[in-house]
Amino acid sequence: MHELSIAVSLIEAATEVAANQSGIVRAVHVRVGALSGVVAEALASAYTMARIGTPLEQAELVIEPVPVVVECRRCPAKRELLTFDALVCPICGNVEEVVRGRELEITAVEIEE
Ligand SMILES: [Zn+2]
């Protein structure tokens, strides 16, 4: 399962941060884009399983979903997409660059010293 290996990587990364600061992880904050290929609910349940027996057993996973945003130079504006069937500007249909929505990153690790 895709989300399980991601959960394991998040736990490893947060464990390393905590070890460097000689503290205990209270919470891990992650940003998950709608186009990242990761389902937030699946990641949350994978994390709940994966943290057992690790230093993060008591640490909460806080998922911040990120919507897909394209930047349209024709309109011009940044617009949030509600459907991702086509990555085009919802106003003019112009194919544009995705500026947000592919994120899969740790934004913060809360450590208790
Ligand atoms: Zn447009």
pLDDT at 33: 95
Å from CA of 72 to ligand 1 middle: 5
Å from CA of 86 to ligand 1 middle: 13
Q: Delimit the domains of the chain by residue range.
A: 2-112
Name, in order, each residue with C-beta under 8 angstroms of 21's C-beta and a sequence gap of 6 or more: 111, 113
Task: Return the structure tokens found at 82.
Answer: 């509600």
Third-level CATH fold of 2-112: hypothetical protein PF0899 fold (3.30.2320)
pLDDT at 5: 96
- Average pLDDT score over residue span 106-113: 95
Closest to 73 (Cα-Cα) out of 46, 91, 48: 91
Å from CA of 58 to ligand 1 middle: 46
What are 57-96's pLDDT values in tens digits?
999 999 999 999 999 888 888 989 988 778 888 889 888 7
Å from CA of 93 to ligand 1 middle: 6
What are 26-59's pLDDT values in tens digits?
999 999 999 999 999 999 999 999 999 999 999 9
Q: Are 70 and 96 in contact (CB under 8 A)?
A: yes
User: pLDDT category, 10, cuts 50, 70, 90?
Assistant: very high
- Rounded alpha-carbon distances, angstroms, from residue 36 to 19, 45, 68, 83: 28, 17, 10, 14
